[in-house]
């Protein structure tokens, strides 16, 4: 089974739009892009378009690559104080002269729709309500749509980034999976992956996970977005060899990526609902 992330994202976006229509004030999302990284520019454009389509307001702030860190921090504080802004995201990666952790920590945790602020990281680790990073949230939705109850399943997350690997492991733990986080120093990675009912690959190495690494029937979620020499996108999983072994697998493109943007809208809606005192289900 090929997991259709585009269709799942479209459903989620429609659900968000229906809830937005019930609000007294349209949710506002402040989107900050520093520099001219072409992929980041595409993602930011897609986020703004998705906002408009869901009935939200996207406030785009494009800053030159050489923007001093102090100016970026000042903009973030301005967005923190702006009542028309419910969510703030600073597109990553940032230019090397800017301290990413400092920027993330400056975003108000109440508007941190990326879920990267240390307070939200701690909330996720403690099993408390907070904003959850968009990519792992989308991955979990796709996994649950395929597997239902995940309790007791063996999950292997390949990659230990703050954006995907670590929060993904926390979410799967929250679903009572037995979770292994594998990384570049893991010994005999194929053997580790072969034990898994659920595999989430988020390493950034094209076609690294091959079909012979997989337990037959495993659910395989490919977070990798690698651009090949021919300009085509390839995931971290070798789709051709994995497709016949996996029980369900996400393609690249059209798998996890669209869910990332849909979950950003969901987090922005949640923030707006909280700030407008709306009771949520
Ligand atoms: N502040 C953030 N920065 C970054 C995040 C994030 O969640 N917050 N994640 C990634 C990039 N990203 C969102 O920002 C993102 C990546 C990919 C997609 C997507 O829809 N991909 C498509 C293919 C698009 C293409 O052709 O290039 C797909 O997989 O089908 C959406 C969002 C890093 N930075």
Give percent above pLDDT 90 in the chain.
97
pTM: 0.96
Ligand 1 centroid distance, CA of 39 (Å) = 8
Mention the CATH class of domain 134-256: alpha beta
Cα–Cα distance, 199 to 236 (Å, whole number):
11
Helix (H) or strand (E) holding 222: strand 219-222
Residue ranges per structural domain of the chain: 23-109, 134-256
Rounded to an integer, the average pLDDT of 159-187 is 97
* pLDDT, tens only, 24-67: 999 999 999 999 999 999 999 999 999 999 999 999 999 999 99
Q: Tell me what the mean pLDDT of segment 207-231 comes to.
A: 95
Q: Using CA atoms, how far apart are residues 235 and 250, in angstroms rounded to an integer?
A: 9
Q: Output the residue whose Cα is nearest ligand 1's atom 20.
A: 257
Q: Which CATH class is domain 23-109?
A: alpha beta
Cβ of residue 137 lying under 6 Å from some atom of ligand 1:
no
Structure tokens at 87: 């969510």
Q: Computed from CA positions of residues 101, 103, 104, 106, in that sequence, does the dihedral angle turn out positive or negative?
A: positive
Write out the catalytic residue numbers: 47, 91, 114
Do 23-109 and 134-256 fold alike per CATH?
yes
- Both tokens of residue 259? 């869910």
Alpha helix (H) residue ranges in the chain: 5-20, 38-53, 69-81, 100-106, 118-126, 134-147, 165-174, 189-194, 239-242, 256-275
From atom 13 of ligand 1, which residue's Cα is the shortest distance away? 43
Q: How many other C-beta atoms lie within 10 A of the C-beta of residue 78?
A: 12
Distance, CA of 131 to CA of 89 (rounded, Å): 12
**Confidence check: pLDDT of 22 > 90:** yes
> 12 CB contacts (<8 Å, ≥6 apart)?
141, 259, 262, 263, 265, 266
Tokens standing for residue 157: 């997350």
With a 6 Å cutoff on the Cβ, whether 89 touches ligand 1 is: yes
Calculate the CA 92 to chain-centre distance: 12
What is the mean predicted confidence (pLDDT) over 116-125? Answer: 98
Complex confidence, ipTM: 0.95
The full DSSP string for 89-108 is EE-SSPPTTS-HHHHHHHS-
Is pLDDT of 281 > 70? no
CA 193/CA 150 separation, integer angstroms: 17
Residue 185 confidence class, pLDDT cut points 50, 70, 90: very high
Using CA positions, which residue lies closest to atom 34 of ligand 1?
A: 92
Contacts of 174 (CB under 8 A, 6+ apart): 127
Residue 257 pLDDT: 96
């Amino acid at each position: 089974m090929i997991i259709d992330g585009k269709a799942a994202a479209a459903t989620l976006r429609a659900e968000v739009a229906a809830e937005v229509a019930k609000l007294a004030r349209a949710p506002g999302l402040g989107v900050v892009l520093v520099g001219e990284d072409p992929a980041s520019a595409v993602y930011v454009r897609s986020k703004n378009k998705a906002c408009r389509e869901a009935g939200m307001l996207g406030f785009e702030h494009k800053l030159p690559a050489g923007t001093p860190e102090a100016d970026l921090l000042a903009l973030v504080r301005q967005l923190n104080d702006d009542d028309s802004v419910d969510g703030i995201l600073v597109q990553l990666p940032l230019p090397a002269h800017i301290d990413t952790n400092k920027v993330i920590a400056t975003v108000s945790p109440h508007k941190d729709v990326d879920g990267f602020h240390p307070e939200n990281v701690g909330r996720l680790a403690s099993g408390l309500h907070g904003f959850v990073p968009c990519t792992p949230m989308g991955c979990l939705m796709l996994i649950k749509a395929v597997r239902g109850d995940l309790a007791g399943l063996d999950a292997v997350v390949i990659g230990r980034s703050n954006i995907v690997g670590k929060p993904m492991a926390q979410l799967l733990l929250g679903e009572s999976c037995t979770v292994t986080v594998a990384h570049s120093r893991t010994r005999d990675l194929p053997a580790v992956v072969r034990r898994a009912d659920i595999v989430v690959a988020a390493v950034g190495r094209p076609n690294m996970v091959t079909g012979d690494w997989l337990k037959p029937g495993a659910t395989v979620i490919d977070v990798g977005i690698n651009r090949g020499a021919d300009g085509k996108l390839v995931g971290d999983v070798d789709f051709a060899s994995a497709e016949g072994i996996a029980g369900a697998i996400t393609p690249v493109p059209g798998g996890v990526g669209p869910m990332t943007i849909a979950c950003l809208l969901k987090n922005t809606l949640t923030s707006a609902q909280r700030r407008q005192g709306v009771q949520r289900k």
